[in-house]
Copies of this chain bind each other. A is one copy, B any other.
Amino acid sequence: MKEITRTPIVILNFKTYLESTGEKALKLAKFSEEVANETGVNIVVVPQYPDLLRVSSEVEIPVFAQHVDAVGAGGHTGSVLLESVKLAGASGTLLNHSEYRMKLADIQKTVKKTTNHKMVSVICTNNIETSVASATLKPDFVAIEPPELIGSGIPVSKAEPEVVEGTVDAIHKINTKISVLCGAGISTADDMQAALDLGSDGVLLASGIILADDPKKALFNLVSKI
């Protein structure tokens, strides 16, 4: 299991873009590793399930799953078993992404299982209230992403700075060990800097890098002012 020094952190969600599937997932992960090595920034890549092994066996940076289901081992055809993504090299997972909202009971069960397996958990949330509720479940990270800004190119750190600050404050009142990430609309070095200035420990992003003309350059730029 690769360790994550927590701050600052960039989590790159590959989603289901063709630009980050199969061999392209590996290429993007390699770029990410190069940028991480050159800059010293912690970069985590989050490929699709079928690409986890391909990526994790070729890069040294942390590899997370995009989701795991709240099922145990057994008769659960089609479900995503935590043990399976772990054996494929994932050292953590996103949970409750805006494109895959989860039931409260399943988030709790999954965070707990993630902890038991010494994996990192990142609960994605949509506002301060759900961020606080999520924080009580003791994940490693809460990633606040106002849904209306996802994929918009308008960074949450600029459009709704009070949401990021409010989330950081509210979460740290509950548990100072939980790191807050800032998502939605992040793509530039200024967005990244603003996110850190607001008290977050890093960013969760996707299209701003993956769909860029030159993803490696975009990623390098993103972390250039840290």
Contacts and interface: CB of A to CB of B under 8 A. Distances in A.
A96 interface: yes
Interface-central residue, A21, A53, A112, A133, by most chain B CB under 10 Å: A133
A154 to B, nearest CB: 15
Given A15-B74, A74-B16, A108-B133, A101 B101 contact: no
Interface residue range, chain A: 35 or more
Contacts of A80: 48-50, 78
A15 B73 CA distance: 9
Interface-central residue, A103, A105, A130, by most chain B CB under 10 Å: A105
Nearest to A101: B103
A175 to B, nearest CB: 12
Contacts of A17: 73-75
